[in-house]
């Protein structure tokens, strides 16, 4: 029997022909697989496009509300935030908005972001608050409690006319002063400790009674209270508690009393105060 025939005498394909047949079948199978993959990719892209279009239509930002700032205009805040109308609200990052605004607008203290679905972005801005001023190099600088410089004046009276009754603070160890930047000290610890004292003052009712706060020597901190009582705190340590204790002692005297009050500990006081 012919080796290329079967039992019925039919001719069988040669090995070369069999290889061609297998190759053709394999190519057809590959084409079918590619077609299926292409079909699923196209369907996925179409569905993704439909989904994106739906998100874009129903959840794109069409209103941006800015609250709180008296320093910057609406457009300045919106331009700084890094987002605009038409952006998808889901993709808006509150963290990025806070970072962008604070980096670009130096007089902003804090930023809070709200999303009101489906289309409204709300940006609540708090400005840095002018709380203190000090003299440096024959000029007067307006400060926040964090020692950021908000403004500079050549004349002290003009500063007070502009900002009202902010508290004068005596500061030493200053290396550099630049508007919109924090005061630079020769010693970084001086910055941290001074800021802590100023924040304690600002958070206490004593702020509205101070004529000045002398923190040149942070181990000999002194305040002048209503122009009539000098408070000597010694060290800046526990200054918030010492301030509370000082107010408690002063409350025992009349509004005409004058003298000196020594608060060297959080629960001890030595008063040299006279009633007038």
Domain match, 46 and 113 both: no
The pLDDT assigned to 176 comes to: 94
The pLDDT assigned to 7 comes to: 54
d(CA 104, CA 75): 13
Mark 141-160 as b/e (b = at least 16 C-beta within 10 Å): bbbbbbbbbbbbbeeeeebe
Confidence of residue 1 (pLDDT cuts 50, 70, 90): very low
Mean pLDDT of 204-230: 96
The pLDDT assigned to 115 comes to: 92
Domain match, 104 and 209 both: no
What is the SS3 assignment for 38?
helix
**Residue 169 in tokens:** 């603070």
pLDDT of 214 higher than 90? yes
Confidence of residue 2 (pLDDT cuts 50, 70, 90): very low
229, 259 in Cβ contact below 8 A?
A: yes
pLDDT of 126 higher than 60? yes
**Count of domains in the chain?**
3
Domain match, 138 and 226 both: yes
Tens of pLDDT along 28-73?
777 777 878 887 888 888 777 766 665 666 678 889 999 988 889 9
d(CA 241, CA 263): 10
Domain match, 78 and 160 both: no
Can you give the residue range of the structural domain that contains 34? 1-58
Domain match, 122 and 145 both: no
Q: How many CA atoms lie within 13 A of 212 on its CB side?
A: 12
Q: Which residue has 């305040």 as its token pair? A: 223
260, 233 in Cβ contact below 8 A?
A: no
Q: Which residue has 């702020």 as its token pair? A: 207
Which residue, of 25, 58, 91, is where some domain finishes?
58
165 vs 252: which has the higher pLDDT: 252
Q: Where are the alpha helices (DSSP H) in the chain?
A: 15-59, 74-81, 94-104, 156-163, 188-202, 239-250
23, 30 in Cβ contact below 8 A?
A: no
What is the SS3 assignment for 175?
strand
Answering whether pTM is above 0.75, one says no
What is the CATH classification number for the domain harbouring 263? 3.40.50
Domain match, 102 and 152 both: no
81, 97 in Cβ contact below 8 A?
A: yes
d(CA 48, CA 79): 30
122 vs 145: which has the higher pLDDT: 122
Phi, psi angle pair for 174, to nearest 5°: -85, 130
Mean pLDDT of 217-246: 96
Domain match, 49 and 66 both: no
């Amino acid at each position: 029997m012919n080796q290329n025939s079967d039992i019925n005498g039919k001719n069988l394909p040669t090995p070369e022909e069999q290889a061609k047949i297998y190759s053709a079948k394999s190519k057809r199978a590959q084409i079918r697989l590619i077609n299926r993959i292409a079909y699923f990719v196209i369907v996925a892209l179409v569905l993704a496009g439909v989904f994106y279009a739906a998100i874009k239509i129903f959840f794109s930002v069409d209103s941006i509300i800015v609250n709180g700032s008296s320093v910057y205009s609406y457009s300045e805040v919106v331009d700084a935030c890094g987002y605009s109308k038409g952006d998808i609200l889901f993709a808006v990052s509150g963290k990025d908005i806070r970072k962008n605004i604070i980096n670009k607008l130096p007089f902003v203290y804090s930023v809070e972001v709200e999303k009101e679905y489906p289309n409204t972005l709300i940006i609540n801005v708090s400005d840095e608050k002018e709380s203190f001023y000090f003299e440096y190099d024959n000029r007067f600088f307006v400060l926040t409690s964090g020692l950021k410089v908000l403004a500079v004046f050549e004349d002290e009276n003009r500063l007070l006319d502009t900002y009202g009754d902010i508290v004068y603070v005596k500061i030493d160890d200053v290396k550099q002063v630049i508007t919109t930047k924090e005061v630079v000290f020769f010693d970084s610890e001086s910055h941290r400790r001074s800021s802590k004292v100023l924040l304690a003052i600002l958070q206490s009712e004593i702020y509205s009674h101070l004529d000045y706060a002398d923190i040149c020597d942070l181990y000999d901190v002194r305040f002048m209270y209503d122009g009539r009582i000098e408070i000597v705190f010694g060290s800046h340590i526990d200054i918030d508690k010492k301030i509370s204790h000082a107010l408690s002692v002063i409350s025992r005297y009349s509004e005409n009393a004058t003298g000196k009050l020594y608060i060297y500990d959080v629960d001890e006081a030595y008063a040299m105060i006279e009633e007038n």
